[in-house]
Amino acid sequence: MAFHNVYPDYQSLITVNVSLVHKPAYHFQPKQNWINDPNGPMYYKGFYHFFCQYNPKGAVWGNIVWAHSVSQDMINWIPLKPAIVPSKWFDRYGCWSGSATILPGDKPVILYTGVIKETPDPGYQVQNYAIPANYSDPYLQDWVKPDNNPILKPTRENVSSFRDPSTAWFNNGQWKMLIGSRYYDRGIAYLYRSKDFVKWTRAERPFHEKSETGMWECPDFYPVSSLGNRNGLDTSTLSKDTKYVFKVSLDETRNEYYTIGEYDAINDLYLPYNTTIDGWAGLRYDYGNFYASKTFFDPVQKRRILWGWANESSTNDENVAKGWAGIQLIPRMVWMDPSGKQLLQWPIRELEALRGQNMNVQDVNLYKGDTMEINGITAAQADVDVCFKFSRLRKAEAYNRNWDKLPQQDLAEDLCGIMGATIQGGLGPFGILTLASKNLEEYTPVFFRVFKTRVKKYKVLMCSDATLSSTNTQEYKPSFGGFVDVDLADKKLCLRSLIDHSVVESFAEGGKTVITSRVYPELAVGLDAHLHVFNNGTEPIIIERLEAWSMNTPMMN
């Protein structure tokens, strides 16, 4: 799905009506129209600022500007006028994605991609900067584009593959930032240096590159503490207790991957550890509908926050009809797993202020084929946190050693599609049925299945399967899956799902594996949506605890 394609017949169709049938209530989005990539999140003078790609004229990609909202908790949002709109020769055809950096003296600056002329693939791209017109305004309502823009132009071979400047960091007396690019099928992140944030020079060698990955969009690079705590680090932090995360969004697959590695600050090179796969089969923040993510350091709460965009699977005609398209997922706190092999993610705690009516379940047995409805909450707009226990592991299904010949991500999705919630297993499938209709004609299951390997170890599969999410046979209903790195010593698996009308955002084992599904039920909408817990394995499962809350609606733009 190439979101840089221009749709002249659609992009300026003014939104007349906004359908609320599938519109999320507590996930970030404007009142109407199209949004995509999160841009330039930052904290400034008492407010969290959030920008994103936005079409003010319609519900299909085009006419892109930087929408701007502010918040004091990242849950309730006040809309402001767009911060950056096409107005100069250096961004005439688009103000595309970028980042924000806070310079010394508490002075924010935005770096963004401008499109100066249209070409087939997709535009001649340059890098620009913008600064506040009034630094004393905590809302930062007005931005100025200095006349010395653009500050970076592409080389001849990549004029249409040169975009998405990263947040900058400072070391060795210079600012550093990354630009995403490609050379044929090789993804490249170029590093640029500057002493004044205006005149930039490209490093002789790419910061990092990888063959057979295609165009790298929205590169992100930041430090994480290796000390086993949840504290985030300022982007410019350098210390012996620091590891580094490098993330890219793959234009060809519409997926992202990240690696953990070392930063050679002298030569400005990134070196991923050999414990993570460097390529499209690598680690992901989210194994579902998630793209163009951006992080920032929250200086107030000392944490790193991750934003990600979830697109619709609707057609252009459907988006125009409903009057909106795209959401931002709940901001997540991100930190290093104690193992050092991956990151952990969890919804920011401010989200819990929206919790309303509550339902609790404890110590309930689920035998093969059992399904139990959770009543007393609004199932279409809920937060569900559940832990499952089991007494034995011996009924775990055999893991076929030939499966290891497949990329693990392909394998996970294939297994979730072939061995879904309705296929009886040994230890699993068990989990929850979200956005379920009264008679279970529709539901989106989020569940676990446990396999036993030849070396008496276990592999835990997590699935979020949209196959039966809607009775609409024309709907795109993918099955998403990912493996969960857990040793099962306590014979317990926990899951949290944020359900919001057309989005199910699920976190396994404290954020080790995360999957987001966009679903569009026809029967299980509003008060006709239900929530169930189920077990379709021969091994009995105990609901050790389940808490579910109806979620209130925040002030949302």
Domains for the chain: give ranges and CATH numbers. 100-347 (2.115.10.20), 355-551 (2.60.120.560)
Specify the pLDDT at position 126.
96
- Return d(Cα 445, Cα 435) in angstroms, integer: 9
Specify the pLDDT at position 2.
47
- Return d(Cα 288, Cα 291) in angstroms, integer: 9
Specify the pLDDT at position 315.
87
Specify the pLDDT at position 97.
98
> For the segment 297-331, what is each residue's pLDDT rounded down to a tens digit?
999 999 999 999 999 988 899 999 999 999 999 99
Please tell me whether residue 349 adopts helix, strand or coil conformation: helix
Residue 366 and residue 390 in contact, taking contact as beta carbons nearer than 8 Å: no
* Percent of the chain scoring above 90 in pLDDT: 90
The mean pLDDT of 498-508, rounded to a whole number, is: 98
Residue 112, judged by CB atoms within 10 A of its CB (0-12, 13-18, 19+), counts as: buried
Specify the pLDDT at position 455.
80
What is the pLDDT confidence band of residue 520, given thresholds at 50, 70 and 90? very high
Specify the pLDDT at position 103.
98
**Which residues, other chains included, contact 468 with Cβ-Cβ below 8 Å and sequence gap of 6+?**
442, 443, 444, 445, 477
Specify the pLDDT at position 40.
97
**What is the average pLDDT score of the chain?**
95
What is the pLDDT confidence band of residue 156, given thresholds at 50, 70 and 90? confident
Specify the pLDDT at position 3.
64
The mean pLDDT of 127-133, rounded to a whole number, is: 98
Amino acid at residue number 223? P
**Which residues, other chains included, contact 88 with Cβ-Cβ below 8 Å and sequence gap of 6+?**
114, 128, 145, 149
**Residues labelled as active-site residues:** 37
Specify the pLDDT at position 120.
62
**pLDDT higher than threshold 60 for residue 71:** yes
Q: Which of 58, 67, 84 is nearest to 6 (CA)?
A: 58
Q: Which of 543, 528, 530, 325 is nearest to 430 (CA)?
A: 543
Tokens 């900058």: give the residue: 168
The mean pLDDT of 84-88, rounded to a whole number, is: 97
The pTM of this model reads 0.97
The mean pLDDT of 127-147, rounded to a whole number, is: 98
The mean pLDDT of 281-303, rounded to a whole number, is: 97
Q: Rounded to the nearest 5 degrees, what angle is found at the Cα of 112, between the Cα atoms of 109 and 113?
A: 160
The mean pLDDT of 182-190, rounded to a whole number, is: 95
What is the pLDDT confidence band of residue 1, given thresholds at 50, 70 and 90? very low
**pLDDT higher than threshold 80 for residue 456:** no
Tokens 């170029």: give the residue: 190
- Return d(Cα 438, Cα 440) in angstroms, integer: 6
Higher pLDDT: 207 or 119? It is 207
What is the pLDDT confidence band of residue 121, given thresholds at 50, 70 and 90? low
Residue 398 and residue 462 in contact, taking contact as beta carbons nearer than 8 Å: no
Amino acid at residue number 326? G
The mean pLDDT of 71-88, rounded to a whole number, is: 98
The mean pLDDT of 396-417, rounded to a whole number, is: 92
What is the pLDDT confidence band of residue 5, given thresholds at 50, 70 and 90? confident
DSSP assigned state of 182: E
- Return d(Cα 396, Cα 392) in angstroms, integer: 9
**pLDDT higher than threshold 60 for residue 115:** yes
The 3-class SS string of 34-95 reads: EEEEEEEEEEECCEEEEEEEEECCCCCCCCCEEEEEEECCCCCEEEEEEEECCCCHHHCCCE
Q: Which of 82, 94, 92, 36 is nearest to 218 (CA)?
A: 36
Element at 402 (helix H, strand E): none
- Return d(Cα 288, Cα 506) in angstroms, integer: 10
- Return d(Cα 318, Cα 85) in angstroms, integer: 26
Tokens 């697109």: give the residue: 311
- Return d(Cα 503, Cα 33) in angstroms, integer: 18
Amino acid at residue number 274? N
Whats the size of the chain, residue-wise? 557
Rg (CA), the chain: 23
Element at 418 (helix H, strand E): helix 408-418
